[in-house]
Amino acid sequence: MSTATSMYQDQEESDTQIGDTLVELNDLKTYYGGQGMFAGPPVKAVDGVTFDIQKGETLGLVGESGCGKTTLGRTLIQLENARGGSIKYDGTEITELSGKELKEWRKNVQMVFQDPESSLNERMTVGEIIKEPLDVHDWKTPKDRRARVREILDIVGLHPEHFYRYPHQFSGGQKQRVGIARALALEPEFVILDEPVSALDASVQAKILNLLDDLQDRFGLTYLLIAHDLSVVEQITDRVAVMYLGNVMELGKTEELFDDPANPYTLSLLSAIPEPDPTIEKNRITLRGTPPNPRDPPKGCPFTTRCPMKVRPEKYRDIDDDVWEGIEVFREVVRERTRIERSWTSRIKTALGGTDPYQDVDEIIEDIFGHLDLSSEVQSPVGEAVQYVKNGNEEQARQYLREEFGSVCDVELPADKRVSNTGRTSMCHRHGAEYDEPRESVEIYETT
C-alpha cells in the first residue's frame, strides 16, 4: 500500500493526470418524490451530473446549501437511489448492486459526516463506535478487531485509553477524529467527507485538515470533499466541482478555478468570500435573493434567476443596469407568487369584488421602479404584466415576462464547454462565440 501511496504522491506533484479513474458519474439524477399518480413535481436535487474522480485525488464539491452536494455524496455511496444515470466504481456499475454485493462493495467507501455531535452514538463507547463497521462486516476475529481499533485510534491522533470513553467526554475536534477513525476502520479506498470541519473552530479545523491530508498520503485514499467553505476547499483539493441547483456549473483544477474562474456562478461565489485582509477592497458581486426552488427550477440555465452576467435580449441590451435589475426583481416576485397557493378566503374575497392583498402590485412596482426613470419601451411591457397579476393570472404574467425580457439563458440549458487546455469545463451560454466571456461582461476584482 505504501508504494502505491508514494506513487500517487509523485504523480500528484508532477501536475500530470493522476492515477486511473476510480469513480465515473454519468448524467446522474437523484429526485425526491414526484412518483405516483397524484404526486406533484419532484425535487430535482441532483439533475444530470457527469464527472470522474481519479484514484488518489481530492475532489472538492462546493455550493450553497440546498444545491444538492450532500445528496450527490449520499447517492455515490448508495444511501440514496439514483433516478437516472450511472455510477461506475472501478468499472462496476453500482446503481444496480444489491444485497450481498452491495454490502461487500460498501467496505470500499466510507463517509465522514458533518456534525460529530449527532453522528456518534452517545450510548456507545468510542471503541465500540469505531469497532461497529468491523463487526458489521464480520472482519477477522474479535481480538483482531480490538487491536485494529487501538491501531486506528493512534493513527488519528487519539490515545488507547480513549477506547472506553463516551463521546460526550470529547471536544468537537476529538469527536471528529472519532468519526474519521470509524470511516477508516475498514481500510476503504474512497472516503466522502461531508463538511468535515464546518462545525469546528478555525484552529481545530486546521488540525483536522492536516490530519486528513496525512491520512491521504499514508493510505493512498481518494477523497470527495463536500464543503461550503471555499477557503477550505482551495486549501486541500486537487480539483473542484462547483454545484448550483443540482448541476455542476464548473469543474477544473483547483488552482486554475480559483485564480481565473470562468463561470458567472463561480465568479460570484468566489467574490463573496470575505478576505482576511482589511486592506483589500473587493468590488464584490453580491447575488440577489436565494437559489430557486428545486421543485420548480428555471427553464434554461439553472443560474439564470440570479446571474449578474445574464445575456439580455437584443432589444434591451442597452438599458440602464438599475432598470434591468428592477425588472429581474419584479420577475422574481411574480415567480414567487405563482409558487404560493392562494387561500380560499382570499379567493372568495376576490370573487366578491373586495381587494385582495395579493393583487396589490402597484406598491411593489412603486418600490422597485419608483426612483428610476423608465423609458416607454420598458414601461409598457411591465404595465401589461402588472395587469395580468391584477387579474389573478400570475402564471400568465410570468410567461409574458419571460417572453419579453428573456434570452437564451431563460430557455436553453447551456452545454459544458471546455474553457482551458487542462480540461476545465464550465456551463454558460457566454462561452459561445457570439457573446462576451463572463469575466469581461462585468467589472470586478480587487484594487488595493
| Binding residue (CB under 8 A) for other proteins from 329, 411, 413, 442 | 329
Which range touches other proteins (CB under 8 A), out of 38-46, 148-156, 283-291, 435-443?
A: 283-291
Q: Which one, 171 or 375, has the nearer CB to other proteins?
A: 171
Q: State in angstroms the smallest separation of the CB of 231 from other proteins.
A: 4
Q: State in angstroms the smallest separation of the CB of 374 from other proteins.
A: 18
| Binding residue (CB under 8 A) for other proteins from 106, 175, 310, 337 | 337
Q: Which one, 128 or 238, has the nearer CB to other proteins?
A: 238
* Residue 54 interacting with other proteins (CB under 8 A): no
* Residue 277 interacting with other proteins (CB under 8 A): yes
Q: Are 49 and 27 in contact (CB under 8 A)?
A: yes
Which range touches other proteins (CB under 8 A), out of 84-92, 99-107, 315-323, 332-340?
A: 332-340
Q: What are phi and psi of 43, to 5 degrees?
A: -85, 115
* Residue 284 interacting with other proteins (CB under 8 A): yes
Rule CB under 8 A: which of 59-98 touch other proteins?
Answer: 64-65
* Residue 286 interacting with other proteins (CB under 8 A): yes
Q: Are 116 and 176 in contact (CB under 8 A)?
A: yes
* Residue 342 interacting with other proteins (CB under 8 A): no
Return residues touching other proteins (CB under 8 A). 64-65, 171-173, 201-207, 209-210, 213, 228-232, 234-235, 254-255, 268-269, 272-279, 284, 286-287, 289-290, 329, 332-333, 336-337, 357-358, 360, 363-364, 367-368
